[in-house]
Every structure is written in C-alpha cells, then in structure tokens.
Structure 1
Amino acid sequence: MWKILPAGRNWGDRRASVFMYQLTRESNAIMRNNLTGAGLIFSGIATVLALSACDAGGAGPAASPTGALPEAPTAAGGESHQAVAEPSETAKPSVKPAGTGSTGSAGGGLCKAADVRLSLGDGDTGAGRTTRPLIITNTSGHLCGVQGFPGVSYVAGEDNHQVGAAAFRAGAKGEIVRLNHGESAASVVVFANVANYDAGICKPTSVTALRVYLPQDTASTLVKMSGTGCANDKVAGDQLTVNTVHKAG
C-alpha cells in the first residue's frame, strides 16, 4: 500500500518516504527467511540427536559381566579380538654340574690350603732313600678335589727359608680326587739320603719342615719334620721327589 503524504511536503520528501517503506518491507522479508532457515537447521539437529539417543539406548553393546575382559576395538579386517592375559613363562632353574670348571673350593671345586690338614705318614727306608706319604685330609664342611702334584720343598731357620731345590715331579698327572669331609688323598714323597752326596757339593743343612703347596693353590702350609737336606740346589740327582695325588686307602 502506498502511503499518502501530508500536504506541504515536496516531491523529494515523498520519494524518500517511498524508498524507506520499500526498504523496511524487504528487510522484514529477509529476517523472516533467515528465521525460517535457522528453525529448519535447529529442527534437523534436534532430530539427529534424538536418533543418536535411540541408537545408544537400544543398539549399544551390552555391559560386560563382572570380571569379564573388555573387547578390544574392531580391527581393520573386521575381526574383533578379546584381550587375554597370557601366563608368564616359568623360570627354569640354572643347573651347573658340580666340580666342572670351578676354581673355588665350595661346591666341589679344588681344595685350598684352608680346606685341608696335611701330615706325613709312616716311612719306608731302603736303597739310599725314604718313602713317606703326604696325607691330605679334607677338614672343611664341603666337597672339594685335589689333582696333580703338590709343590714340596725343605725349609729351615726361624724365617722358614727354602733349602735346596724343590721336589721333582715324577710320573703323569692323575685324575682328580674328590674328597668329602674327613676323606683323604695322598702323594708319595721320596727323600734321598743326602749323606750319600759329596758334602762339599751338597752342603748338608738341617731342615725343620716341608713347605707344601696344594696343586693350583698359592697358599702354602708347613709340615713339621726333622732331617737333612742339601743347601746346594745344583746337586746331581733329586733330594726330593713327589708323585701325583691318589685316593688314600
């Protein structure tokens, strides 16, 4: 509808009024369209939310029973995998054969000086020499072994200095002899009668003990005895001879 302008206004005012009227109508129309579109959008969002709520309530996964493991997410190939706890592998005890490759005394290794008691057995004299067994007795609380030749030499004086050459090792090295507590092994020691040597070469000297090293040990033990040895370590022949260890019977 066209509005009739009051008398007294000029044509320019009339044209301005018409323009403002049309602009007002168009603005109102645009606002109505925008509100209608917004209403449709909000209506669509509400519908989607309602459908989602329905799906969540009716088609969702059932609650897991008490103590059940939850299902893992579906894999790309369409298979679903349930998490299962695998039992840990039982630890196997480490087993080491007794007495193999061990240099310690515990657990069947080699006997050390602190594990044994040393003594000289009764002698057998003849043909310019005396034979006596060096007895090695296990006094420890564990199994240990002895193999090979003990180191044997004469000593004298308060400082226990060595007299002459150490014992010569005769024969082949024997097998290891394993000793439980209280058991003994022996090595035969041969003592030459040094009175048969030239005194000027031998230089006879009174001795007070034997210094003994167990095979493959660095600690020595003194075994008391009395006798005579050659101070010269270059005499012909051997004033002492030692044999490999064997089981004492």
Structure 2
Amino acid sequence: MGPAQVLPFFRRATPLVGAVALLGLLSGCGSGGDATGAVSTPAGTSSRTTGPATGDTGSPSTGPGTASPGAPDTASPATQSGGPGTRCHTSELRASIGRPSPGAGQRNFPIVLTNTGGHTCTVHGYPGAAFVDASGEQLGPDPKRSPDTPSTVTLTPGGSAWAGLTFASPEISGARTAVPAALLVTPPDERDPLKVAWTNGEVPVAGNESSVFVTIVQPGTGG
C-alpha cells in the first residue's frame, strides 16, 4: 500500500476513534509519554503553516540542534501576539502521543497538544515532527503534509487539539526501519519543539513506502 492510500483511511477512521487523536494525546494519558519541555530543534521540525500541502514541512533543514523557524500565517488570528485568544506558544503547551488507530497495512497515531497555560490561545496548520534517536539525531526524512485545508483551533485552558501521524506498516511496505527514542513535536508557527518519548516500536526511515505523513490540527484528542 502506498502513502496515497494511507491518508484517506486515516481521515475516515478519525470519527471512530472517539473525541479525536494524535494531538489530543496531550490532554489525557496516551500510550506515549508527556512532553518533557522545549529542546533544541533538529533538522526538519519546522512547523510552518504556509506553503505546499504535501512534501513541505517548513524551512529548509539547518542541521541537528539548530532551530528551523516556522513562517507565521499573518492572515490567521493564531499568529497574533498579545492577550487571550492569540497563538499558542511552545511554553504553554504539552505534547503526547495518543492511542494508535490501526488500519489495513498502516499505522496511525494522534499527536496531541494540550493548553497548559492560564489563557485561551489558538493553533493553526501543521505541527512539525521528527523522530530522533537517544542522542537527538533525526531518523528518516521530514514527514510529508496531507492535502488538507488548515483551520484555526481555539484552545481554552486544559483544551486539546490533535494532528494525525501515519505511515505504512514496515513489515508490509518493506521499508528500512529504526526504533526512535522520541518524537519531537513543534507546535504550529513555533521554533521550539516538545519532546515525547516514543514507545510504539519501529518506524520507516528509508526505502520503498517509507513516507510518513502528518495532518492538520483538529479539535479534541483523537482518541
């Protein structure tokens, strides 16, 4: 099964998963760990909300340990700065991985972002994501973006949003794999990522059918 077949299934599966998944993991307890805080960004974790819908995850990679700034969408309320209702910053969010939603020949995970601050804020677009090993080196290429239309999600204190992370099952696709130590999640339009322990086994990093896809943020937890 190629990547193009994986995404439609994930979208069809989301209503069945409950409230909502990947990014919703942050609000409750998922199968992954909670964020441990902001860390330096490895190559490929930019979360720019503008640009092509697929194959573009933000600014060019600048090497492990170097922040890749996201380009704010100035037309969206999510990019304003100041009081309540403005863009959520990394320091105001917690990230987690929700319960997997298996499909025919694919693996789907919700990445959940939860507002831990004291005021309402918004997220808009795609999060940045990068699998890393124990030393912080990125494993595999940047995820590709699903061809969706971003919308602004408002998070009240304690509220969550999620984005889908999906890829073809390596044992079926034949892709070369690695077992990450963590997933770095960069909130939309932010530079600093949140580190979430990865406990879901191998992921594709090279070879046939090795693409990983990420979807836009949606309300809820995806679970």
Shorter-chain TM band = 0.5 to 0.7
Name the aligned partner's letter for residue 118 of structure 2. G
- Match of residue 148 from structure 2: 172
Larger radius of gyration between Structure 1 and Structure 2: 1
- Does residue 229 in structure 1 map to residue 203 in structure 2? yes
User: What secondary structure is seen at the aligned counterpart in 2 of 1:173?
Assistant: coil
- Match of residue 248 from structure 1: 220
1:118-137 equivalences under 5 Å are: 118-137=95-114
Q: Which runs of 5+ in 2 are unaligned?
A: 1-75
* Rounded Cα–Cα distance in structure 2 between residues aligned with 1:211 and 1:143: 24
With over 3 angstroms needed to count, the CA separation of the structure-2 counterparts of 1:205 and 1:247, relative to structure 1, is: same
- Match of residue 194 from structure 1: 170
With over 3 angstroms needed to count, the CA separation of the structure-2 counterparts of 1:105 and 1:240, relative to structure 1, is: farther
User: TM-score of the superposition, structure 1-length normalised?
Assistant: 0.53
- Match of residue 213 from structure 1: 186
User: What secondary structure is seen at the aligned counterpart in 2 of 1:207?
Assistant: coil
User: What secondary structure is seen at the aligned counterpart in 1 of 2:142?
Assistant: coil
* Offset, 1:245: 0.7
- Match of residue 113 from structure 1: 90
Residues 114-153 of structure 1: CA distance to partner in whole angstroms, max 9, x if unpaired? 1111111111112221112111110001111001111112
- Match of residue 21 from structure 2: none
* Rounded Cα–Cα distance in structure 2 between residues aligned with 1:183 and 1:101: 15
* Rounded Cα–Cα distance in structure 2 between residues aligned with 1:214 and 1:197: 30
* Rounded Cα–Cα distance in structure 1 between residues aligned with 2:212 and 2:129: 8
Conserved? CA contact 2:78–2:122, under 8 Å? no
Conserved? CA contact 1:185–1:245, under 8 Å? yes
Correspondence for 1:155 among 123, 126, 132: 132
With over 3 angstroms needed to count, the CA separation of the structure-2 counterparts of 1:175 and 1:225, relative to structure 1, is: same
User: TM-score of the superposition, structure 2-length normalised?
Assistant: 0.59
* Rounded Cα–Cα distance in structure 2 between residues aligned with 1:218 and 1:103: 16
Conserved? CA contact 1:112–1:214, under 8 Å? yes
Conserved? CA contact 2:119–2:157, under 8 Å? yes
* Offset, 1:238: 4.3
With over 3 angstroms needed to count, the CA separation of the structure-2 counterparts of 1:133 and 1:149, relative to structure 1, is: same
Conserved? CA contact 1:105–1:144, under 8 Å? no
Query: What value does the CA root-mean-square deviation take over the aligned residues?
Result: 2.1
* Rounded Cα–Cα distance in structure 2 between residues aligned with 1:125 and 1:101: 32
Q: Percent identity?
A: 26
Structure with higher helix content: 1
User: What secondary structure is seen at the aligned counterpart in 2 of 1:195?
Assistant: helix
User: What secondary structure is seen at the aligned counterpart in 2 of 1:161?
Assistant: coil
Q: Which runs of 5+ in 1 are unaligned?
A: 1-98
Residues 214-240 of structure 1: CA distance to partner in whole angstroms, max 9, x if unpaired? 1111001111113213343xx333442
* Offset, 1:105: 6.2
Conserved? CA contact 1:124–1:131, under 8 Å? yes
Residues 9-63 of structure 1: CA distance to partner in whole angstroms, max 9, x if unpaired? xxxxxxxxxxxxxxxxxxxxxxxxxxxxxxxxxxxxxxxxxxxxxxxxxxxxxxx
Which range is displaced more, 132-141 or 203-212?
A: 203-212
Which gives a bigger RCO, structure 1 or 2 (Cα 8 Å, sep 6+)? 2
Number of positions where the alignment pairs a residue of Structure 1 with one of Structure 2? 145
Give structure 1 regions of 4+ aligned residues with deviation exceeding 6 angstroms: none
